[in-house]
Homo-oligomer: A and B are copies of this chain.
Amino acid sequence: MYALNKVKEYRKHRDLTQIELARRVGVARQTINLIENGKYNPSLSLCISLAKELLTDLNALFWEEEDEEQNT
């Protein structure tokens, strides 16, 4: 199991099926399914495509805050 993500949430919010989202980002339906269910570890370029297609960004989909840490 890999890190949880909000792909399903954002996809539903956009009213897309797994099939349609898969088509739009150019991967197989199974790939979307596995990602949504945290069964694996997508590539960065796929994450970026998903974020763009879902009109959001990487952090919103895949980042979970731990503690706040600030750098200069």
Give A residues with C-beta under 8 Å from B: 2-3, 13, 41-45, 47-48, 51-52, 55-59, 62-63, 66, 69, 71
Contacts and interface: CB of A to CB of B under 8 A. Distances in A.
A44 B45 contact: no
User: What is the count of identical protomers in the complex?
Assistant: 2
Given A41-B45, A58-B62, 6 more contacts: A13-B71, A44-B44, A48-B62, A58-B59, A58-B63, A59-B59
Contact of A45 (B2, B45, B56, B66): B2
Contacts of A66: 52
Contact of A48 (B56, B63, B71): B63
Given A52-B66, A66-B52, A3 B57 contact: no
